[in-house]
Amino acid sequence: MRAGLLGANDGVLSISGLMLGVAAMRSTPSGILAAGIAGIVAGALSMGAGEFVSVSSQADTERADLDIEQEAIRHDSASEIAELRDIYIGRGLDPELAAQVSQQLMTHDALGAHARDDIGITEALTARPLQAALVSSISFALGGIAPLISGFLFPREAGLVIAIVSLVFLAALGALAAHMGGAPIIRGAARVLMWGASAMGITTAVGTLFSAPP
C-alpha cells in the first residue's frame, strides 16, 4: 500500500506538472498529450526500477541478518535462548515463563523466533522487490492517466482542467493515506494539496519562461 499510494501520488503530480509545463510553452494539444504519454512510460519504468533496487537492498540486509542469526544459533544456542528470554522479560513476562517460552520457541523454530522477536522480520513485512516494483510502476501509470485523460478530453482548456483534476486526485490520495495511517484526513489532504499546487505552479512558470512568443 505504501508503494501504491506513493506511486499514484507521483504519477498524478509528475504527469500534471509535465503537461502543464508543456502547455505553458504554447505547445499544440498533440504535443501536450505526447509529453504526458512519454512521461507516464518513463516515470513508470523509473519508479519500478527505483523501488526494485531499494527493496532489493532491504532484502539483502534481511538475508544477511538471518545468516548471522543462523550462525549464532548453530554455535551458541544457549546465548540465543537467553537473548530471547531477556526480550520476553522486557515485554512483561516473568523470568520463569520467559525462559520456558524461549526454550520452546527455539525448539520449534529457532530462526523464525529470532527473526520475528529479535530482528523484527515477519512474513507480512518481508521485503518483496518484484512485487514492490510492479505496484509502483502500475500505480504511477494509473495516477498519471488522470491528467492525461483530462488533457485529451479538454484540449482547449488543457492547462486549467489538468490542474483542477490533478489537485482533486491529489487531495483524495492524501486523505486516503491519512485515513490509513490514522492521521487527520483534512490535514493529510491539505498537505498534499499545498505541495501539489506549488509544484504545478513552478512547472507552469518554467514552461512560460521558455515559451515561444505569440
* Domain-wise residue ranges, the chain: 2-59+129-209, 60-119
Closest CA to 114 of 66, 150, 151: 66
pLDDT at 83: 84
pLDDT at 182: 83
- CA angle, 194 as apex, 183 and 32 as ends, to 5°? 125
Closest CA to 130 of 61, 51, 63, 45: 51
Do residues 7 and 136 touch, judged by C-beta distance below 8 A? yes
Q: How far apart are CA 21 and CA 201, in angstroms?
A: 9
Closest CA to 199 of 172, 176, 166: 166
Task: Tell me: pLDDT of 3 over 90.
Answer: no
pTM of the predicted model, to two decimals?
0.73
Q: How far apart are CA 115 and CA 68, in angstroms?
A: 11
Name the residue with higher pLDDT: 79 or 119.
Answer: 79
Task: Tell me: pLDDT of 212 over 70.
Answer: no
Q: What pLDDT, in 10s, does the model give residues 154-194?
A: 988 888 999 999 999 999 998 888 888 888 899 888 999 99
pLDDT at 33: 93
Say what angle helices 2-24 and 29-75 make with each other, to 10 degrees: 150
Task: Tell me: pLDDT of 86 over 90.
Answer: no
Please report, in angstroms and rounded to a whole number, the separation of the first and last CA atoms in the chain. 46
